[in-house]
């Protein structure tokens, strides 16, 4: 009796475990945009297979484990392989898919041939005919695979060359601004493209995106919104040309598969296809050239964190020193290809300059108070914010500590982190920044992804010549006060809502 019970319990446990694995697998496939009907069929197949293997009697006494394996296991297994390779290599890597099919056909031919030697019930003639057909198919697919490699690669190269030509023309086109050298500190917001994210990942806490449900919806719901990716160019009379973050690059946005092919398989499996959008005018080199500068003159890049929508542009900045928190380099999500050209130019701040406003540690990077690095871990293990002293005020570069101005209402608007201590640290960092802004009324936040009028209208126009006057700084802070109360809550009319067609409205 006890023996039967423990066996049943063991089988139930096995069932639960398989269901968890299957669910995780289905979520990954959904993330990769596999259609829901396909996933439902595949999920049912997996469920049938698992039940059939654990309780062979379910399908009738004569339909045992072997039959279940054959009739449901083979389609489920092929489905797994097919879906896996389709999503990991996508369709662009046709030669890889053809090559795999060729290898499978040749292996099947070999097995059929070997079985024939050992002798089975089937007549030898039918066996060798089958081996011959399978082998022929394998060779044909292999040949097709070999022939298509060059074609696919040429197509990719053609596209890249064409795009590079367009960008070079844009860089050298007239319309370049004259660089002003009057000893002032200048900051230019560079809109380097857009990224596509789920509404809930960006604006958690609203319209049902909250808690566990919020995480699930972020994974499964494909309601996407488009938000800008900003990097900042700093022209400093004493410290030269610098950047805060580097944005994305063209290859990352337009040849996503090729770009991430340089990275580990895991990042490929998890990274979303077509997550970035960028016009040739938004190319970092074009943007910088339009302002009268050359991207190769940038000496220092302060990277708020390692994430790829902040680091992709580093491929244009191989000459620069890249300053970032060591914890991000060692424990963050690093995409090696984005860092390939700068990995020997990294500098890690020690944060030993003492307290700065609400921050117990800071780094006065140049030792003259002109640029302060503030550790703000949470969004990533080594996230940092950058405070730049300008002539009539200070610019505080937020990175992803808070995505937008409404995110300052941290008790209402939540941006997704993994949860647990990361979220605690991030909220802690946000509160320290709130305190800093309260104490320093001439400091304005500069966001990486703000999609509200604050960035798109006010910051962009106040900084259009790189240098707002005291009144300009005041106007930005006044706008902040129309969005947020003094205890950091949203005023009516500024709560984000998901409207039709992935548009965000503030009501």
- Residue 328 within binding range of Zn ion, rule CB under 5 A: no
Question: Minimum distance from CB of 29 to Zn ion (Å)?
Answer: 24
Stretch that binds Zn ion, among 111-119, 282-290, 400-408, 474-482 (CB under 5 A): 400-408
How far are the Cα atoms of 188, 371, 452, 497 from residue 472, in angstroms, in the given order?
14, 21, 18, 29
Q: Which residues contact 105 (CB under 8 A, 6 or more apart)?
A: 134, 135, 137, 138, 141
Angstrom distance (rounded) from CA 308 to CA 312: 5
195 or 452: CB nearest Zn ion = 195
Q: Which residue has the tokens 């496939």?
A: 29
Q: What is the 3-state secondary structure (H, E, C) of 464-497?
A: CCCCCCHHHHHHHHHHHHHHECCCCCECCCCCEE
109 or 384: CB nearest Zn ion = 384
Stretch that binds Zn ion, among 21-29, 301-309, 344-352, 494-502 (CB under 5 A): 301-309
Angstrom distance (rounded) from CA 319 to CA 421: 36
Q: Which residue has the tokens 């991430």?
A: 260
Stretch that binds Zn ion, among 122-130, 240-248, 284-292, 394-402 (CB under 5 A): 394-402
Stretch that binds Zn ion, among 79-87, 108-116, 242-250, 300-308 (CB under 5 A): 300-308
214: how many CB neighbours lie within 10 A of its CB? Answer: 21
- Residue 307 within binding range of Zn ion, rule CB under 5 A: yes
Binders of Zn ion among 228-287, rule CB under 5 A? none
Question: Minimum distance from CB of 219 to Zn ion (Å)?
Answer: 18
Stretch that binds Zn ion, among 224-232, 285-293, 393-401, 468-476 (CB under 5 A): 393-401
The contact pattern for Zn ion, residues 170-189, with x = CB under 5 A and - = no contact, is --------------------
310 or 316: CB nearest Zn ion = 310
Angle, CA of 300, 303 and 306, to the nearest 5°: 140
Stretch that binds Zn ion, among 74-82, 287-295, 354-362, 398-406 (CB under 5 A): 398-406
How many residues make contact with Zn ion (CB under 5 A)?
Answer: 2
414 or 494: CB nearest Zn ion = 414
The contact pattern for Zn ion, residues 466-505, with x = CB under 5 A and - = no contact, is ----------------------------------------
Asked whether the beta carbons of 354 and 348 are under 8 A apart, the reply is: no
Question: Minimum distance from CB of 439 to Zn ion (Å)?
Answer: 27
Show the tokens assigned to 329. 């380099």
Q: Which residues contact 241 (CB under 8 A, 6 or more apart)?
A: 233, 234, 235, 293, 297, 298, 299
Question: Minimum distance from CB of 318 to Zn ion (Å)?
Answer: 22
Question: Minimum distance from CB of 101 to Zn ion (Å)?
Answer: 39
- Residue 400 within binding range of Zn ion, rule CB under 5 A: yes
How far are the Cα atoms of 146, 280, 486 from residue 99, in angstroms, in the given order?
8, 35, 63
Asked whether the beta carbons of 206 and 497 are under 8 A apart, the reply is: yes
Residues that bind Zn ion (CB under 5 A): 307, 400
């Amino acid at each position: 009796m006890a023996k039967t019970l423990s066996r049943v319990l063991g089988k139930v446990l096995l069932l639960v475990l398989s269901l968890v694995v299957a669910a995780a697998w289905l979520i990954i496939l959904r993330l990769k945009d596999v259609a829901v009907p396909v996933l439902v069929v595949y999920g049912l197949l997996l469920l049938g297979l698992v039940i059939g293997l654990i309780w062979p009697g379910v399908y009738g006494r004569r339909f045992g484990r072997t039959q279940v394996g054959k009739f449901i296991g083979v389609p489920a297994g092929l489905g797994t392989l097919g879906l896996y390779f389709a999503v990991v290599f996508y369709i662009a890597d046709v030669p890889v898919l053809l090559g795999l099919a060729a290898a499978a056909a040749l292996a099947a031919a070999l097995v059929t041939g070997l079985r024939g030697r050992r002798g089975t019930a089937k007549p030898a003639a039918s066996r060798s005919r089958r081996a011959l057909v399978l082998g022929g198919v394998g060779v044909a697919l292999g040949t097709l695979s070999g022939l298509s490699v060059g074609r696919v690669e040429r197509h990719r190269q053609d596209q890249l060359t064409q795009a590079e030509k367009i960008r070079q023309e844009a860089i050298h086109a007239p319309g370049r601004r004259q660089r002003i050298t009057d000893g002032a500190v200048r900051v230019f917001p560079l809109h380097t493209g857009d990224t596509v994210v789920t509404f809930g990942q960006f604006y958690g806490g609203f319209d049902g995106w909250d808690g566990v449900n919020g995480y699930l919806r972020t994974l499964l719901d494909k309601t996407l919104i488009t938000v800008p990716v900003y990097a900042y160019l700093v022209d400093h009379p004493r410290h030269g040309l610098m950047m805060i973050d580097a944005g994305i690059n063209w290859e990352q946005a337009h040849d996503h598969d090729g770009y991430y092919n340089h990275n580990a398989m895991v990042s490929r499996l998890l990274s979303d296809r077509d997550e970035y959008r960028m016009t040739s005018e938004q190319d970092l080199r074009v943007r910088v050239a339009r302002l009268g500068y050359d991207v190769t003159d940038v000496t220092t890049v302060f990277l708020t964190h390692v994430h790829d929508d902040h680091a992709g542009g580093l491929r244009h900045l191989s000459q620069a020193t890249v300053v970032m928190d060591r914890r991000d380099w060692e424990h963050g999500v690093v995409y090696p290809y984005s860092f390939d050209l700068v990995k020997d130019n990294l500098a890690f701040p020690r944060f030993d300059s003492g307290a700065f406003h609400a921050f117990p540690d800071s780094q006065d990077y140049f030792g003259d108070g002109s640029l302060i690095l503030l550790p703000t871990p949470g969004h990533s293990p080594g996230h940092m914010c950058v405070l730049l002293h300008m002539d009539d005020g200070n610019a505080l570069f937020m990175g992803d500590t808070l995505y937008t101005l409404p995110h300052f209402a941290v008790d209402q608007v939540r941006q997704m982190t993994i949860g647990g201590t990361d979220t605690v640290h991030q909220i802690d960092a946000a509160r320290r920044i709130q305190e800093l802004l309260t104490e320093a009324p001439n400091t304005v936040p500069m966001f990486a992804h703000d999609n509200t009028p604050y960035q798109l209208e006010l910051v962009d126009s106040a900084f259009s010549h790189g240098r707002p006057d005291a009144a300009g700084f005041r106007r930005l802070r006044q706008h902040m006060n129309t969005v947020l109360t003094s205890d950091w809550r949203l005023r009516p009319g500024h709560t984000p809502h998901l409207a039709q067609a992935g548009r965000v409205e503030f009501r």
